[in-house]
Structure 1
């Protein structure tokens, strides 16, 4: 069973359509409600990538 989505406001859509690239896996990811207050600080797409951040930094050296 699918739930109907509420129509988004045009102003909110432009802010939320921004994508970033994950610093570990280099995949694009989109804005999420849980990142509403800290979107500027978000660098990783998932917990897994956040936990592997040290491995990637070690490989670059």
Structure 2
């Protein structure tokens, strides 16, 4: 039963992968459960930086 509290388990067992722009590791989040394979950026800032670099 989750009563809205933060995850208290051992996060080292969750899958992770590096951000395509900055390289920081991204740890799996419940919000990404349905599209984890398509997640490439750790933040909105990195996603926007990707499009800025492509246009330059």
TM-score category of the 2 structures, normalised to the smaller one: 0.5 to 0.7
TM-score by length of 1: 0.63
Unaligned runs of 5+ in 2: none
Q: 1:19 matched to which residue of 2?
A: 16
Closer, same or farther in 2 for the Cα pair 1:21/1:5, shift >3 Å? closer
**Pairwise CA RMSD of aligned residues?**
2.7
In the alignment of these two chains, the number of paired residues is 51
CA contact (8 A) 1:19 1:28 kept: yes
Alpha-carbon distance between aligned partners in 1 of 2:27 and 2:17, rounded to the nearest angstrom:
6
Higher helix share: 1
Structure whose CA Rg is larger: 1
Task: Give how far 1:53 is off.
Answer: 0.6
Say which of 33, 38, 51 aligns to 1:41: 38
